[in-house]
Structure 1
Amino acid sequence: MNDTDLPDPHSLMSLADQVVLITGAASGIGKAQVELFLAAGASIVAVDVNEQGLERLCHLGEVARLHLQVADLAQADDITRVINSALERFGRIDVLCNTAGVLDGYKRSLDIDEALWDRVFAVNIKGLYRLTNAVLPGMLARGKGVIINMASVAGCFAGGGGAAYTSTKHAVLGYTRQLSYDYGRKGIRVNAVCPGMIETGMTTAVLSDRESKLMKVLASVPAGRLGTPLDIARVSLFLAGPGADFIHGAAITVDGGLTIK
């Protein structure tokens, strides 16, 4: 291979003319994805249950390429409305980022009631499944598409969440691999990102106790710091772009080295 055969490095991270649907877009990792993917040239369907948070995205100044949709991913009708609105606005969805998720307060099985258990599964798994099934037919018809599922290091071992959250993140990884197995040869790339200790609004309460077990674990992390939403958004952008064309069914751990031992 000579220099003339090499792709432009910038093109490997470009999402020009791509339509990306991002859930959990009002804050944290989802918000960072919106900002970074817009900078990479994509048009964005930003979805969140938090209407005020979504409205704050308007400051990005990319109104023509930004479509805001308030939705509760636990509600099937909301998902149908989001997809219909996105298709009406942009005509297709090229990339789906299943980023939204809810925590369970690190509750053990005997401590978690069924209402919270059902809510965690409804958002973290069933909502992800419904959205995926809503966009897959269009992707398959075009012979290409990218799905990025937000898992967690809690999907790799116990102790990263409570009983419900940990169970859902294990399920996300299994679902990611099965989707890749079933649809990879039909042009669909499916991968998961497994964040470690990330400082977001959702994790503020957990990480605010500097004497907690989790914060003591941080002292042994090779990176020597908490992760940021942008750390995860950068990996998501790579997985969404052409530079990741041969990555299928992977679980990319982004944890500062937390899980290397």
Structure 2
Amino acid sequence: MNLTDRIVVVTGGAGGIGAALSRRFAAEGAAAVVIADLDADAARAVAESIGPVAHATGLDVTDEEQVRAIVDDTERRFGRIDLFCANAGVTTGGGVEVDDAGWDRAWRVNVLAHVYSARAVLPGMLSRGGGHLLHTCSAAGVLTAVGDAAYTATKHASVGFAEWLSITYRDRGIRVSALCPQGVDTPMLADGIREGHLGARVIEASGAVLTPDQVADAAIAGLAEERFLILPHPEVADYARRRAEDPDGWQAGLRKLVRRLTA
């Protein structure tokens, strides 16, 4: 996908990967970048730092009516949406003991928000015969987020949903990409490390932490090649192969790592 003169929407765009994507899309020549976030003030700050092509709005991605309203408003103002980035995500930092409210929030943000945006944006894209969906899914969606059961389950679901969309709509001109970074230097990771979440400690111990800008670089390259699976950490592909070839050995290795970190 060539981003020149494209109309783009980025959810969770007020910080981390979302803000980096928004900046990079503008730098690549996008005609408009709509930055949507639950924190509307932070979204406006990012938009102001980018310049006239950026437009900020508040958005709760778990509210389907709000998602549809953002899509409708963007299409009215700019005529179309070429690229929709469902980027917002949440972690829990816990296992089966996380309460139902925590599981529900993870499900609604990490999965249903992707469903809501697809429902809203696909009709216009299909009528025009083209469009691209970029879903931020995490390496947890192809591997496991040690220490975070809800994040693991919902990110697997988000990858599965993105794959379903790609299979179902690619022949009708819709491209779908699943962005699956591993460790990224974002407030989400910093909060997890500070609070002692096991998954965050595993990422920290790996030493393979990218900046949001590096993830944005990988996303741009993947979009240009119209790849389904975009892996900013290329080693994730090797991990996924090892996991598929020897699931028992893969799990044994992770259990060993967990024992070392929790000793």
TM-score (norm 1): 0.83
* 1:102 alignment partner in structure 2: 90
Cα separation, partners in 2 of 1:212 and 1:140, compared to 1, 3 Å:
closer
* CA 195–86 in structure 1, closer or farther in 2 if over 3 Å, else same: same
Q: How far apart are the structure 1 equivalents of 2:113 and 2:101? A: 16
Aligned partner (choices 37, 50, 57) of residue 69 of structure 1: 57
* Correspondent of 1:163 among 149, 152, 173: 149
Higher RCO (CA-CA < 8 Å; seq separation 6+) = 1
- Relative distance call for 1:235 and 1:108 in structure 2 (3 A) is same
Q: Percent identity?
A: 32
Which residue is 1:130 aligned to? 116
Among candidates 201, 205, 225, match of residue 244 of structure 1: 225
Verify the 8 A CA contact 2:148 2:199 in the aligned structure 1: no
Q: Distance in 2 between matches of 1:67 and 1:87?
A: 13
1:37 counterpart letter in structure 2:
F
Unpaired stretches in structure 1, ≥5 consecutive residues: 1-11
CA distance in 2, matches of 1:181, 1:211: 35
User: Which of 13, 26, 31 does residue 25 from structure 1 map onto?
Assistant: 13
Looking at structure 1, the residues matched to 62 and 197 of structure 2 have their Cα atoms a distance apart, in angstroms, of 35
Higher helix share: 2
What is the RMSD of the two structures over their aligned residues, measured on CA atoms? 2.2
| CA contact 1:22–1:46 (8 Å) conserved in 2 | yes
Paired AA for residue 11 in structure 2: T
Whether 1:179 aligns to 2:165 is yes
Structure 2: stretches of 5+ with no match in the other structure: 240-263
CA change 1:179–1:213 in 2 (3 A) is: closer
The ranges of structure 1 where at least 4 consecutive aligned residues each deviate by more than 6 angstroms after the TM superposition are 209-213
Q: Partner residue of 2:247?
A: none
- Aligned residue number for residue 143 of structure 1: 129
How far the C-alpha of 1:62 sits from its partner, in A, is: 2.1
* Between 132-141 and 79-88, the greater mean CA deviation after superposition: 79-88
Task: Give the 5 Å matches for 1:82-101.
Answer: 82-101=70-89
> Is residue 55 of structure 1 aligned with residue 44 of structure 2?
yes
Aligned partners of 1:152 and 1:194 also within 8 Å:
yes
Question: C-alpha separation between the residues in 2 aligned to 1:147 and 1:213?
Answer: 28
Hey, what does 1:228 align to over in structure 2? 211
